[in-house]
Chains A and B, each alone.
Chain A
Amino acid sequence: MSDDTNTLPSNAPDQVFADATQLMGASKEVMIDVAGVDKFFGEFQALKNINMRVGQQEVVVVIGPSGSGKSTLIRCINRLEKHDRGQILVGGVELSEDIRNIQEIRRETGMVFQSFNLFPHLTVLENITLAPRQVRKTSKRDADAIGMDLLERVKIPDQAHKFPGQLSGGQQQRVAIARSLAMRPKVMLFDEPTSALDPEMIKEVLDTMKDLATEGMTMIVVTHEMGFAREVADRVVFMADGQVVEVGTPEHFFDNPQEERTKLFLSQIL
């Protein structure tokens, strides 16, 4: 499945794609290719034959009830979890046992966590410059310049020398986004980035992500923010019980869902 051409024919934007392997928009490069992936936690099968392709600059929002395998799926994409069957390619590199491949994919893939996972013993700027300096061997001066630039972008340059514990939740999550961007990733993965935030701080984080999408970042976002999905997503992927149930443009997905499971879920949350 992954051996065929990397470009796919364009599709009409309004079409509903039951098949998540189809790409949106005009002939884009395939950035992430997930093919036939199974994942087990002991006896429990968390992912069942997942097939999904994400094109360059595409924003895919993954939604679904808790325990449906959304987080597991994106954690498989940068090998925080190891998939048991199937194939995952990121930017043409296959995730295999080879540690070099894994490191290459992790370098190109940014990840933002629900609980921020900032390094509490380092200042905000050090949090951001750590990876460029240690992984890309950027000099301290250059890394600091990149870091300050990113902090400008997420609007908190004045917090550069504070420690994460001194910041609000929304600020911390924006630092976490800046930290991922510092590696200049080609893909950003968001694992419920606003779920741990107080309501009044959700907007500032979503706005940051929105701007990132506008700039053309390839993104997979696991979230419960339906407004964000409707506004920003190119495609919405609905997962339940470890399977992709339905895929479609936001309009189709929210206004005209096809599957019973999807309708049930939407009726519960909307």
Chain B
Amino acid sequence: MSQDWGYTVQPQQGGGDIMHALAEADRPRHSDKSAGQWVKSNLFNTWYNSIITLVFGALAFWAGYYAIRFVLFTARWEPVSDNIELFMIGLFPRDEITRIVSQFLLLAGALGLFVGWLRTRALNQAHESGAEIKQSTLREYLSVYSAVTLFITFTLVIGADTIGPWLLTLGCIMAAVTSYMATLRLMKPLFKLVLLSPLAITAGVLSTIPDLNNQAAYAIAAAATTALVVVHFIRALPVTLTVGMLAAVLAFQSLSGTDGLAWLYLTLASLPTVFWLLAKTGDRRMPALGGAGAIILTAALVWNTAINSFDLWSIVLLAALASALAGLFRSDPSTGARFGAIIVAAAVATFISDRIGFPGIDWGEWGGLQLNIVVASAAIILAFPVGLLLALARRSSLPVLRYVATVYIELIRGVPLISLLLMGQFFIGFFVNSDTPLSNVTRATTAITMFSAAYIAEIVRGGLQAVDKGQTEAGQALGLTAAKITRLLVLPQALRAVIPAMVGQFISLFKDTSLLSIIAILEFLGVREIIHAQEAFRGFGIAETLVYVAFGFWAFSFTMSRESQRLERRLEVGDR
């Protein structure tokens, strides 16, 4: 195929290098000037700038003086410091604290794994493209995480009266670092021993809490240790992702218990690894796996039809079986195999979640900042895909989809969240017929999810419209189907473009969880009410508790915003 094309190409300097050089040249050089010179040329270079500097400098000084005086000297922090547990977890049963501990440790571990996963992926990509990886500097990390660190430190300093919370914080940091290290290629055997530390951390933290049944926590610690060893020695990105997701799911369930959806979480978490294994086994075994899935589906279909007669589930199973078989026997055995693999994974997950079910703490007993974070995370995780689908539906060529999405979005966006929350108390029960009434928190989470999904849909739609039409045309000209053009070409570019707006929406969602107090849920802000109902703090320290709650919301929101900016900068690799 190679032939002489009759010309030689001069090596050209890539546009990227030129842009890099330009950016380099534009970078301001602080080092040229002394501090005095900088002040003179930037703050007092003209008479009006001098006035602005003086006026606003005085204002800032005045505000800063009173703020510092309040925080350090005049404020009475007792209402906060005596009630820090209330602020953090509300009225969560105190003899079930083990669950909170294991939740935090697992979440920290999951975080470490996710960061390691992202980093390894970026490194692999940079290695292939020969591009330099953008290292975040210490300064960047400080600017991102100093707010939340400050909040946690403040909380610990004024609120922790035992060593427990300090140990837990330390344990979380170590769990995150250890999990992160598990994703790295470590040469020294001594370092590899660090992988065993989850056991030590958990044992250490739990030993500070007296009189608790810690068996489950120790079991989780052992599992976590094993998982880290697996992650480290297999060194495959999908496995890391699966273990991270499992840790996150388990963290959630250590509080909520295994509900009816446990099999679904387990299946979803396992998918990266399942597909990875599928790809590893190669084309040869694909039909076998697809066949196994088809057999299980058939068995489930027969079983369900025999026990429950031909109901909705039978139809679902039949449809699944049909598509698996279609994939298996038509053009593309890998579709059938993937389908089969999902079914096999779901079957195994159902079996496991059936065996190791354990009860949770009723939603009504959750509270404090913990609840805000859980509700916000759940709403973000749910609202994102819903919003994405709504945005796609609104741009669909199918009129019914388009109208439904448009009506939904415009209805929801025209209604205040607070009224949705109140309506959720009444209306969701009408739509969802359940023997046990839905909990307050579930209703509220649903309302917030519905609300945010409409806004996210509009944000995503903006991103979709911003993608150049030429991208779609190029995809069409290559013979890609409309679905693949959207999924592989348009969406990735659209989503990347809307990260800032999206994170802004997530931040406002997080802050909106403070509205839950209006429907009698004891969240971070609402905790104040029971604090000031106490004899000792009635009408006392109201400003202090308000400031503390505001500080908490700000710390997390600011961190999210900063982290999104850092993410944007990192994603710039290969953007243009």
Q: List residues of chain A with CB under 8 Å of any chain B CB.
A: 78-80, 103, 106-107, 109-111, 113, 115, 117-121, 123, 130-131, 134-135, 137, 139, 149, 152-156, 159, 161-163, 165-168, 170-171, 179-180, 183, 203-204, 207-208, 210-211, 215
Contacting residue for B477 out of A78, A203, A210, A211, CB 8 A:
A78
A148 to chain B, nearest CB (A): 11
Judge whether A113 and B128 touch: CB under 8 Å: no
Q: Are A121 and B332 in contact (CB under 8 A)?
A: no
Q: How many residues of B contact A (CB 8 A)?
A: 42
Can you name the residue of chain A whose Cβ is closest to the Cβ of B470? A117
Q: How far is the CA of A183 from the CA of B469 in the complex (A)?
A: 21
Question: Which A residues touch B433, using CB under 8 A?
Answer: none
User: Considering the complex, which residues of chain B in the window 14-41 have a beta carbon less than 8 Å from any beta carbon of chain A?
Assistant: 14-17
Report A77 CB to chain B, min CB distance, Å.
Answer: 10
Contact call A80/B477, Cβ cutoff below 8 A: yes
With the chains together, A80 CA to B473 CA distance in Å?
Answer: 7
**Are B478 and A120 closer than 8 Å at their CB atoms?**
no
Task: Provide the residues of chain B in CB contact with A154, threshold 8 Å.
Answer: 5
Q: Which of B251-266 contact A (CB under 8 A)?
A: none
Q: How many Å lie between the Cα of A170 and that of B11 in the bound state? A: 12
B550 within 8 A of A: no
Q: Is the interface of B mostly helix, strand, loop or mixed?
A: loop
Shortest distance from the beta carbon of B281 to any chain A beta carbon, whole Å: 14
A138 to chain B, nearest CB (A): 12
A215 to nearest B CB, angstroms? 8
- Asked if A162 and B7 sit within 8 Å, CB to CB, the answer is no
B479 interface residue, CB < 8 Å from A? Answer: yes
Whether a CB of chain A sits under 8 angstroms from the CB of B476 is: yes
A117 touches B14 (CB 8 A): no
Bitwise, B565-576 to A at CB < 8 A (1) or not (0) is: 000000001111
Closest residue to A215 on the B side, CB-wise?
B3
Residues of B within 8 A of A (CB): 1-3, 5-9, 12-17, 128-131, 283, 331-332, 468, 470-471, 473-474, 476-481, 484, 488-489, 492-493, 496, 573-576
Q: A113-B474, A130-B478, A166-B15 are in contact. List 15 more A-B contacts (CB 8 A).
A: A78-B477, A80-B473, A106-B477, A106-B478, A109-B477, A115-B470, A117-B473, A121-B496, A123-B129, A130-B488, A131-B478, A134-B488, A166-B14, A166-B17, A170-B12
| Bound-complex Cα distance A79 to B478 (A) | 12
Cα A211 to Cα B493 in complex, Å, equals 34
Q: Do B5 and A120 touch (CB < 8 A)?
A: no
Interface contact B468-A121, CB-CB below 8 Å? no
- CB distance B478 to A171 under 8 Å? no
Shortest A143–chain B CB gap in Å is 13
Q: Say whether, besides A165-B16, A165-B574, A207-B7, A121 and B493 are in contact (CB < 8 Å).
A: yes
Please name all residues of chain A whose beta carbon is closer than 8 Å to the beta carbon of B129 when the two chains form the complex: 123, 161-163
Q: Out of B9, B474, B479, which one reaches A119, CB within 8 Å?
A: B474
Residues of A within 8 A of B574 (CB): 120-121, 123, 162-163, 165-166
The 5 closest A-B pairs by CB, nearest first: A163-B574, A166-B16, A117-B470, A117-B474, A111-B477
A183 touches B478 (CB 8 A): yes
Instruction: With A119-B474, A163-B129, A211-B6 as known contacts, state yes or no: A131 contacts B16, CB within 8 Å.
Output: no
Given the contacts A168-B14, A207-B6, A113 and B478 also touching, CB distance less than 8 Å: no
Q: Look across to chain B and name the residue whose beta carbon is closest to the beta carbon of A162.
A: B129
Docked Cα-Cα span, A130 to B477, in Å, equals 12
